[in-house]
Chain A
Amino acid sequence: MNDLIVKTIVRWVIPFIQVFGVYVIFYGHVSFGGGFSGGALIGASLILYAITFGLKASKKMVPHKRSQWMESLGILWYIALGIVGIYASGYFLGNKTAGFFMGEAGQLLSAGIIPLLTIGIGVKVASTMITLFQKLVEENEDV
């Protein structure tokens, strides 16, 4: 896109969208949000960058190998937390019975396994959205 107004405004707005997405992921167990909506926000900001500045600039920011690694790390982190639950108590993905740090309700550092799983889900959803967009647009790369 060769429009000067769109490029300037998008360059200013994308960091704010990403900070809001990270806030929604981290406070998922205290207030509204959670893994899926925070991951969708970060993925939407990366798609906005790809639409405005072209496919080549987007491939320099998120190359194919990096998004592959983020995708696999998201699901392997989830399964690793489940196997830690088997070693600590007898249950896969246990929370209070596996001895994670509980804390008080309403604070940021509380609720054991819930923030860790939420970060894994958020990373996975964001990398899925940008990978699907790059794959679908790659076919007509000179357009």
Chain B
Amino acid sequence: MKKIFVVTVLTLLFLVLVYSVLEMPDFASLNSPAYNELARYYVENAIEEAHATNVIAAIITDYRAFDTLGETTVLFTSILAVTSVLKGKKHE
């Protein structure tokens, strides 16, 4: 009974999601709004300004290095959270 109800609701959700995904621009088209002048700027000027051949490494450590600092803080916080829940064998 619960299984039939869940399967029906999830099928309806899948149909709604597919209907709204079909409105997006085609896969791998050259005039999609995501391929704007910022992506072309990064690809063309990565060698002159950062002298690095790997464009993604130049983005995450040179153009947007502050976001990578926030992400290393997320890794540090996850260790704090796990250590505060599991305290080891000596409790008292």
Contact = CB atoms under 8 A, between A and B. Distances in A.
Real complex partners, A and B? Answer: yes
24 contacts: A29-B58, A31-B54, A32-B54, A35-B61, A75-B72, A82-B65, A95-B62, A102-B51, A105-B47, A105-B52, A105-B53, A110-B52, A111-B51, A112-B50, A112-B51, A113-B65, A114-B58, A114-B61, A117-B61, A118-B57, A121-B68, A131-B79, A135-B79, A136-B82
B79 A132 contact: yes
Interface in A88-102: 92-93, 95-96, 102
B62 A34 contact: no
Given A34-B57, A132-B82, A105 B51 contact: yes
A104 interface: yes
A113 B49 CA distance: 12
A34 B79 contact: no
B51 A28 contact: no
Contacts of B57: 28-29, 34, 114, 118
Interface of A: 28-35, 71, 74-75, 78-79, 82, 92-93, 95-96, 102-106, 110-114, 117-118, 121, 124-125, 128, 131-132, 135-136, 138-139, 141
A113 B65 CA distance: 10
A92 B67 CA distance: 13
Interface of B: 47, 49-54, 56-58, 60-62, 65-66, 68-69, 72-73, 75-76, 78-79, 82-83, 86, 88-89
**SS of B interface (majority):** helix
A28 B78 CA distance: 25
A82 to B, nearest CB: 7
A124 B51 contact: no
A105 B73 CA distance: 30
A114 B47 CA distance: 13
A28 B65 CA distance: 15
A138 to B, nearest CB: 6
Contact of B61 (A33, A103, A118): A118
Contacts of B88: 138
Given A29-B58, A105-B52, A135-B86, 16 more contacts: A30-B52, A71-B76, A75-B76, A82-B65, A82-B69, A93-B69, A104-B51, A105-B51, A105-B53, A111-B51, A114-B52, A114-B57, A118-B57, A121-B72, A135-B82, A135-B83
